[in-house]
Amino acid sequence: MQSVQFWGETLRLLVELAATVAFALSGVMEGARKRLDAVGVCVVGFLAAFGGGTLRDLLLDQRPFFWVRHVEMLWGVLALCVLAMVFMRGRHFAPTAKAMQWPDALGLGLFAATGVHQALVLELPAVVAVLMGLITGVFGGVLRDVVCNEIPTAFHDHRPYAVCAFAGGWVYVALWHLQAPGWVALVACVGVTAGMRGLALWRNWQLPAWRH
């Protein structure tokens, strides 16, 4: 039993780490696209990487925050930001909004899964768990866009975004209540969320927009 819990916690930590990396990359790309200096790019990368998880921990009253418990994440994101900037400058890589969408979609799915998991472990109601997943997945991107003087993608991109995290969260909750293995619920949530977002980008699915 302890072995199962250990591997379940290890998988959750790896998923959170992968989500942090994916969103940090999206932040670096957005900062570079806006022609920020090195400090600005790092700040945007950190906000994207840690914003959603920090708000989740605040709402769930989890202390210390996840990036304080695992301080190696801070050093890892800093190193990632520096290496990404060096790579993009060395290769004359011009980041575009389209290039940023794919790490953002992956980070959305990964963070949504960790948010739902944290809430379910605390035995919170299903709808609260789904909303925690949505907040964790979306808020980092919101902070990234606001700091870069953009209307957040989650609000103005008419292709499904938050809806994907909402749907993936319910898949996690359903599998949790069916007592499926933890890794199955995590992978399914990530797959549904990131997969739906990827399909929305590829097929250009549109949600109804407000019309005058």
The percent of the chain in helix, strand and coil, each rounded to the nearest 5, is 80, 0, 20
**70 occurs within a structural domain:** yes
Overall domain count for the chain: 1
Question: What is the extent of the structural domain holding 41?
Answer: 2-203
**98 occurs within a structural domain:** yes
**212 occurs within a structural domain:** no
Question: What 3-state DSSP class applies to 73?
Answer: helix
Reported pTM: 0.84
Query: Helices 97-121 and 182-203: crossing angle, nearest 10°?
Result: 150
**96 occurs within a structural domain:** yes
Q: Where are the beta strands (DSSP E) in 121-160?
A: none
**210 occurs within a structural domain:** no
CA distances from 132 to 10, 12, 94, 101, 212 (A): 20, 15, 34, 22, 33
Say what percent of the chain tops pLDDT 90: 36
**101 occurs within a structural domain:** yes
pLDDT single digits (tens) 14-62: 888 888 888 888 888 888 888 888 899 999 999 999 999 899 999 999 8
